[in-house]
Structure 1
Amino acid sequence: MLVCPECQSKNPTQNKYCQKCGTSLTVRDCEECGGPVGWEEQICPHCGASMVKPLLALIIPKTPAVESENVELAQGEETEIPEVAALDPNQRYHIYSDSALSPSPHYGEGYSVQVWDSQPLAESYLSSQLSATATLDPNAVLTDSSESQEEGLQQAGVPAMAIPYQLLKDRFCPIIPRLYDAWETPEKTVVLLEDRQNYAGLTQCWEDPDIPLLQVLSWLDELAQLWQNLASLGYCQSLLEASNLRVDEDRVLCLQQLYPDDPEHQPELSALGQLWQRFFSQTGRTLYGPLADLLGGLMEGKITVVDDVRSRLREFARQQEAPDEEENNPEPDPSDEVEEQEMSAGAHEEKMNYPMEGEDVPTIVLPMQLLSLTASGLTHVGGRDHNEDTFGIETLIHSTENPLGKTLQAKGIYIVCDGMGGHAAGEVASAMAVESLQYYFREHWTDPTVLPDEETIRQAILTANEKIYTVNLENSRSGSGRMGTTLVMVLVQDRNVAIAHVGDSRVYQITRKQGIEQLTRDHEVGQREILRGVDPEDAYARPDAFQLTQALGPRENDFVKPDVLFLEVHEDTVFLLCSDGVSDGDLLEKHYEDYLTPLISSRANLEEGLYDLVRFANIENGHDNITGVVVRVKLRPNLDGTPIM
């Protein structure tokens, strides 16, 4: 089977085009030169650009690996491979010609090497196994119990070495790498992972003088938190190999792979303290005071509980943030510490890691500030003969820099409107709304350091409504003949956000920690009935369930009641504003991990990502106009007043 790269539907291997969306299954466009390139090609024949992403192959021989591969490996050495070789029976995965075999610790004679996929559209061996098992017994793999799920994976024929990645992929994303494929032959077991060898090593970041001590403390806290979770799963050894600890471009702690613990010699918490001590020694960072006492207590076995480690780390972090306060209160009451954590959002201090199941201990917090504010918009006619959607984007950035550092102030206005009223009417209403709102805020949002208040935002929306309503009256439009538009609007001022909407266009917030969250409630009959206490199934059984209860333009201001929401950004975030052509059919809830979560990364191109989403929505929801605006808010630690060690 061939999996379509656009709509993810499965096609017979002989198909040249996707039977659902028509996407070519034989060629793709080169991202560098735009020329056609076969899906099986590694290099673009037109410009020489690489067309593949490296994968990390973990290879565990069942017979002596070195002999079966005709390659001699000495411990600690890397040996060049003389020629490109395939790893699987179907000759799908190939070793890079310039790659090298590296011994893989904790797997006996196992080793790792970079490979590439010559059949990227073909269903993976792993996916085929899981699909076959799920077809026979839907509960064999997808269960609530980890033990049952592991048993189901074993029954599906998934190699034992791959099972931990499959079990932990949701709970520990993005800390552990994505499992790409896995299979077994009589000679070896092969597991293919997302390759993170290009990520910066933790020690490399540790020794960077521009990284504040508070960030280092946050990494220590994350490692302790991971230890607590991985201990019960038998993978603490993954945290004790310095080369296995990586940091992505957003300073998120990541693992290159998982290492199983020796069941006869389970690692103790003191080993983690020894690793931390080595990091400080190798990087030259000063180790003193309570932090030195903590590491000493860990290495000597005096501190054996993770919660104690994290509690001391948080106390030391608090001292770094408020040294004067510490002098006046050297032994703070524990209840004060809890209260301080609960108030951290109001004090502009944010969490720097991801929650784990069963996690009760507060996380070290860091003061944060805006790093970047970027946005992109796109609209498509979809299945209609004309486009009544409109969007607007305005972003103002003010950057200041001096020897003490760089600060960024930004404000942005982002709007999506879905017009209604027929040809040459809906598009007029939506365009009028965008233009009116942009003009209003240019006149009334004069202080770039403060968001407009709720009354100002409501007045802006009512002003837009009045203009459209007046045109309807002047043109003697009445009833359903009146033009109108929905509205969703996001105002951003640094880390502060205001959201306003009228109608059924939506705003979603996407973060790594919380996933996707719909921030607006549709103004339609079905939702109105639910708010009145009607059962959702009964509410949407009405023939008029999806009829709008509010819009801009058809009625005078007394009938327009915008919803306004204020929030503060606590971590790197993507906001999506969209018309219902994108959100229909729960498309975003089902597919946000593929199309929206990747856009949180600084490496992701917003325009390309939004283009992919709109194309996919056109395939799935092609009955309507399709419009989206993505806004990415990136944060970084606020270094003002933070000691650099």
Structure 2
Amino acid sequence: MIATQKIIYCPNPNCSHPINAAENQVCSNCQTPLIHRYLWSVHPNIQKLEAGEIINDRYEVIKQQIWLDTKPAKLPEIPTELSSSMITYLRCSQEILHLPQIYGYLSLKDSHDILLLENVPIDETGNLYPAISNAWKQATPVRQIYWLWQILQLWEKLEKFGVNGSLLLAENLRVQGCFVRLLELTNNQDNTSIQKLGESWENLISQAQPSIAEQLTSIVGQMRDPLVKFADIRSQINRLLLAASAELPLRLNVAGATDIGAELEHNEDACFPTGEDCIDDPLLPRVSIVCDGIGGHEGGEVASKLGVQSVKLQIKALLTEVSGQQELVSPELLQQQLAASLRIVNNVICNANNEQKREGTQRMGTTMLVAVQVPQQVQTVAGWDAENAHELYIANIGDSRAYWITREYCRLLTLDDDVIAREVCLGRSLYHQAKQRRDATALTQALGTKQGENLRPTVQRLIIEEDGLLLLCSDGLSDRFLVEQSWKDFALPVLDGEMHVEEAVYAWIKLANQKNGHDNISLVLTHCRVSPESIITSTPVEFSPEILETPGEATLEAEESEFSESIQLPLDLDLDLELDSENSESEAKPVKAKKKRLSALIWLLGLLFLLSAGLGLGLFTWWRYNPTTFGKACDRLPQGLQKICPKN
């Protein structure tokens, strides 16, 4: 059947008129947000389908393999027995940032079973994100290396399940901004050695950006050697990635807050930073933490606060250790150290439980979500020494969530530690099937409930190579897909310089109280900027001070140079005016000429006033928003001019 009008059904089971036009964002009857779930259909021998065709009275064909679920609230068809290919998808489900997940399947007459995949690289309009080969030429050097690094990471993980050959198929590799994503997983048919991977990269490397082409060509040449070690290739790609990313500037602005919620009497959440934290805290603005306590007012509230304070000490020690290293610390080692830090915090809370003789459900615990921007010194591709390689590590235990948000998309970075995820990862159940369990959202991991050696924290690394927002939040905000539905309203104004981070935090909390007021709400928002800074024109709020990272020496010298040039400009104008004045006194001119000269003088004085006012406003803005670099620039001025600089 061919649909004459594209429709989608409201997910609200109580809606009296659930049929909506597909282009609607909310139900025209009950105002419930509509779910536009685009699926990738895997069917080797199905007949050609026409756009608009309705399959099984539910799925509308957008393109041959892209289908829209018009009844997204209805449970998809679940097989009675899972095939080996289905189990592979389930076992790989932790890689939600890169890999699709099974949604359901269809069994049609005269056709093989059709596998339906969600979390696929399809945008909100039903179009595929570009293949890596099509996006490669326009990508920056950092992004090109970052894509290759992600492929290497996936290669090692998918090899365990015999599907790493999926990374050799050019059209299967898609990119959404800085992230590599796969359309589907395919079982290995031929040799899938690292030599094959190197061959698949050759066409990309031939079109690499000039600044990195030579190094990448050398690495791919090594990959042809049958004796090459995977770890050596990974190490070289990592070093090149950090060397390229370190050439970008990086500014961080962080704000956080926690709220009791609209319906509760106690707040068991805790986060860092909040408006109560000192702006001189050495962890700012590189560290953000969200904890959601478990165990009631006398337990959860204590556990979450204890967790925040304990992990801050661990991270401070880790950053101190990293700063003293002469060589780069590998991402694998940093991930191990962060996981070990969470286990130590776990044992602190666990010991408190034991001392208070808490047993069973009385034991207090907490989720923990930590993001750490680790600055490492590295020599850049251009050959100068940089102080920060833009690494961002995220460690997670529990169901608090992290998102990376840009102007184009919002991506969930973490996987909940709940019964649903456990059943899926063990290959026992499809996601939407496990979601029907009574204990579906019960936590399987939390800090303080058991000994640290039994914990399995998830730690991942991102590279900050684009402007974006890192959002960490408790389920008081993330429940009911509130982040996915509202991110544009809060993230875009911050990214466009129209709203301060603090304003966005409190506006998001206000919305969460309206929509998810059943729980405590905590969030920490970090604005990461690698592009030139723009001045925010809105009036700053007084919730918490803006925290800016001090730029590196190269940035400082550039700003000081601009400062020196700008203060010289009015002096040059004054000199020109004095020369004009002398000429007017020494030469006899008609009255009209004098009037013209007077008009010109007034015009020049007006111009001087405007320039001086603009300069003053610019200097004030610099002093107000970045007093550290302003003060350093003042220190380089002659002694006489230093007196006019404001004191911090």
Q: TM-score, normalised by structure 2?
A: 0.43
Say which structure is richer in helix. 2
